[in-house]
Amino acid sequence: MPTDEITQAVSDRYAKAASTGEQMCCPTNYDMGHLKTFIPEEVLKISYGCGTPAGLKTVRTGETVLDIGSGGGIDCFEASRLVGPTGRVIGIDMTDTMLEIARNNTAIVATNLGYPASNVEFRKGLADAMPIEDGTIDLIISNCVINLAPDKRKVFREMYRVTKPGGRFTISDIVSDHTVPQYLVHDTQKWGDCLSGALTLTDYMHGMTAAGFLGIHLVKFSPWRIIDGIHFFSVTLTGYKLSPDPVASSACYATLRGPFSRLVDERGITYRRGIPQSLTPDQALLLSVSPLTDHFLLANEPILLDQNDPRWTAVLPAQAPCAWMGHYALLAGPFVEATDDDHHVYRRGEPLEICSKTLAVLETREYQPHFVILNRAGDHVSGNAVICAPDGGCC
């Protein structure tokens, strides 16, 4: 399907929804009770998305925030409240009907917030050709929009272009665990349903890294739909455009604390738990961002850890039989590869079948933030217990 045809079909679908009040596809959990205190009902009833990126404590006072695919303006108006009157919010959208509704409500929202003037501006534009100046944005947000763009890698490059050095993004979108087949790719209806354009989690995160973003990690996820065995799910991701002047961290050495026994970061550097490794300034800067920094000891001198050190972190599986229940784990942390203490090797975005004991490990506080867990079992699974491998590895 030609790119222009896809773009026009999506725009027409959302313009129609804005006019008719149709409820669109994606799972969203807005706090409508809170938003109704300052955002008009006209905006709230046409709000579509698969997350709440503006409401996840990602917006800071005084920042310049960009919302890609701003629609009726709900996320822009929430960001307006959070940045305060000294901040600035820009929304871009390609649909005239949406832009008209958003612009008509800017003054109302400003008055409701007690601002002397609105700090929100709406511009017409496409996600892959944004009418935004280079290096001017502190934070990019987007809510279930990038999957609608035919060329997502171009969108990621545009995001990197407009972000300030030291800036970041927090975006929600629909991704899949398998490559979407051509019969869905060419289904116009399912483009508007946030299905046909979905990338796999692997390709989505790789596209962002290829654009230049680093420290890309999962904030939250939610299962959504299963079509012909393909799992579509919502993810909210954060990543950074690191400053080219790496003076923020003076650490010379990093020691991996755990819970993983081995990690490979987005620059291809391998770290093994307990073993100090020298760092370049660029490497130290990457490890100093959240949540990478939570896994490391950064210091000016090498620090060697062993299992008796309280800073050593490990989560071992139960020494008992396990069961196969249809669960798969997808690594979505700020590293491209990781190994646990049962020798499972997780590669970012790639589904790995796991047993009940490994599931219990990955659901612990130490591991849970870094994984999407899906269940592919179509019917009830008896889950008969099996004995793990004789070499001690789980299953």
Same domain for 362 and 284: no
Ranges 25-29, 305-309, 382-386: which has the least confidence: 25-29
Res 391 pLDDT > 70: no
Tens-digit pLDDT profile for residues 316-332: 999 889 999 999 999 99
List 353's β-bridge partners, or say none: 328
Same domain for 134 and 188: yes
Same domain for 83 and 20: yes
Res 249 pLDDT > 80: no
Same domain for 333 and 301: no
Same domain for 105 and 39: yes
Write down which residue in 217, 240, 263 finishes a domain: 240
Write down which residue in 205, 240, 275 finishes a domain: 240
pLDDT band at residue 18 under the 50/70/90 scheme: very low
Same domain for 176 and 122: yes
Write down which residue in 224, 240, 256 finishes a domain: 240
Give burial (CB, 10 Å; 0-12/13-18/19+) of 361: buried
Give burial (CB, 10 Å; 0-12/13-18/19+) of 23: exposed
Residues 6+ apart with CB under 8 A from 188: 1, 5, 6, 9, 196
Same domain for 209 and 76: yes
Mean pLDDT score, 177-183: 89
Q: What percent of the chain has pLDDT over 70?
A: 85
Half-sphere exposure at residue 99, Cβ-oriented, CA atoms within 13 angstroms: 16
Distance CA 392, CA 395 (A): 9
CATH code for the domain in which residue 343 is found: 3.40.5.100
Q: Model-level pTM greater than 0.95?
A: no
Half-sphere exposure at residue 302, Cβ-oriented, CA atoms within 13 angstroms: 7
Same domain for 304 and 234: no
The pLDDT of residue 395 is 57
Same domain for 91 and 132: yes
Res 333 pLDDT > 60: yes
Contact 255, 296 (CB under 8 A): yes
Res 382 pLDDT > 80: no
Same domain for 91 and 20: yes
Give which of 29, 34, 107, 120 is closest to 73, Cα–Cα: 120
Higher pLDDT, 29 or 152: 152
> What is the tally of structural domains in the chain?
3
The pLDDT of residue 392 is 47
CATH code for the domain in which residue 47 is found: 3.40.50.150
Residue 384: domain span:
319-395
Same domain for 345 and 305: no
Higher pLDDT, 192 or 194: 194
Sheet hosting strand 276-278, strand order edge to edge: 276-278, 253-256, 296-299
Same domain for 290 and 144: no
Q: Which two tokens stand for residue 383?
A: 């889950």
Contact 164, 233 (CB under 8 A): no
